[in-house]
Amino acid sequence: MTFTPHGKHLVAGNWVASDNKFQSEPAHGPAHDFGVGTPALVDQAVRAAEAAFESYSALTRAARAAFLDAIADEIEARAAEITEIGTQESGLPVARLEGERGRTTGQLRLFARHIEAGDYLDRRFDAALPDRKPLPRPELRMMQLPIGPVAVFGASNFPLAFSTAGGDTASALAAGCPVVVKGHSAHPGTAEIVAEAVLAAIRRCDLHPGVFSLIQGGRRDVGQALVQHPLIRAVGFTGSLGGGRALFDLCAARPDPIPFFGELGSVNPMFILPHALGARGAAVAAGWAGSLTMGAGQYCTNPGVAVVIAGDAADAFEAAAKAEVGKVGAQTMLTDGIAQAYRAGRDRIAASKGVREVLTTTCDLRNATPYLYSTTGQDWLANEALGEEVFGPLGLIVHAKDADEMAALARSLHGQLTCTLHLDAEDTALGQRLMPTLMRKAGRVLTNGFSTGVEVADSMVHGGPYPASTNFGATSVGTLSIRRWLRPVCLQNVPQALLPADLAGQ
């Protein structure tokens, strides 16, 4: 069955049309018209979210878990239609969309089980000490409470897992916070059908309809109106550094500043240590080529930089990487704008002082072909722009002159989502030297693997120091991400009859 979008916004349980339209730009298949969002629609959606907050936040954890499970059920009931329109709009292959749908429903169910367990509440209790000298201690109880309505911006590169009902939305709803989503114009049809699934779950669970709204498209004024609305309490964002920083600044400039949790990407450098490079450089090159070009390089964890120590083994690695990357043909990028930005990034790297071409190709329109470049550690250290992300299948190999320069390169890094060490047992001493720096620079440190892809699990951290993300203490993936939408409250000498249900009897 084919899904045909109606092009409306979902506001407090109603599908609402708007006068101005924009047309989707699918990689293949039919284009559709969608309503352009407005600040007035944002205001309606946010006010409905505030109206829903009291009843939704007061639900039992079991009831909220049932709602999350219901959303997952409704998404799965629309699986074929979601895959069809998702592949049309994004150009991503069917297998990728099916896997991403599984991740989306999986994290909804993961958060359902997480809140049922209750550990996220971080409940603490200090008994009263009336006889303590010189002063008695009152009875103290603490727990985490939801903060209020949350704004979520859909991501271009993950139409499902980081968008309408993705990780930000799932974790906020799990916390007890209503959500207003600004859909990404790259995949509005996908956003609409997922919003239909959420609405079906709202009705199935008999919830206040303001618990979820979707505002499609729109110009900058829609995003600005959303993050500056006085009833919004926090913002989740996955996207570009420029766009994220602009929204972050708006949140900070509010009369009542609110947290902006932006995941902005990074170059995710790999450090290939000497013995590993000599013993299995070709294998590492092959793995890197696959990771670098996966999904046309459109992953925020794409490992765009490989650091090696100059010498014959480094030259062999470079040759092997060229051969492997050269096997990859043109791939469709998510949008025309992303494809244009990729070519601009390629031109910036190619024109940088000290950068040498290793593999050049030709790409145009919405296609991306891979590129490889090489530079020295000295030139890298002299040019901060080489450490800026190029969103696409472009790799840069940095030849450090020795271990000291490799360590200096690590220290020069800005904040990263990931850093990777490829090492053998004989590289342990250098690995021990680099690890403290890499842990300081990144939210996730890997050894002998490739960073593309993020496991949704309790221990995962998808975030890092700026500019990888705007809040180094948070993650946008994994169960810890729920903490973004909670705040601790201490209750002192409060009688049992007045305690929240989750504290009563504690």
Which positions are catalytic?
A: 263, 300
Q: What amino acid is encoded at 505 in this protein?
A: G
Output the pLDDT for position 365: 86
> CA-to-CA distance for 138 and 136, rounded, in angstroms?
7
Any idea what DSSP says for residue 401?
S
pLDDT at 462: 97
d(CA 467, CA 188): 28
Number of helices followed by number of strands (H, E) in the chain: 14, 21
Let me know how long the chain is. Answer: 506
User: 136 Cβ partners below 8 Å, 6+ apart?
Assistant: 128, 129, 130
The letter for the amino acid at 208 is H
- Picking from 401, 309, 332, the residue whose alpha carbon sits closest to that of residue 28 is 332
pLDDT under 50: residue ranges of the chain: none
3-state secondary structure of 270: strand
Per-residue pLDDT at 505: 66
What separation in angstroms does the CA of 154 have from each of 165, 191, 238? 9, 8, 7
With CA atoms as reference, report the closest residue to 14 among 195, 237, 268.
195
Cβ-based neighbours of 227, under 8 Å, separated by 6 or more: 151, 235, 247, 250, 251, 254, 258, 260
| CA–CA separation, 441 and 110 (whole Å) | 28
pLDDT in tens, 322-354: 999 999 999 999 999 999 999 999 999 999 999
pTM, entire model:
0.96
Tell the burial category of 54 from Cβ atoms under 10 Å away from its Cβ (0-12, 13-18, 19+). Answer: exposed
Lookup: tokens for 80: 């074929």
Q: What CA–CA distance (Å, rounded) separates 18 from 41?
A: 9
Give the contacts of 54 (CB within 8 A, at least 6 positions apart).
Answer: none
By DSSP bridging, strand 367-368 and strand 331-332 are: antiparallel
E strand or H helix at 298: none
List, for residues 157-183, the tens digit of each pLDDT value: 999 999 999 999 999 999 999 999 999
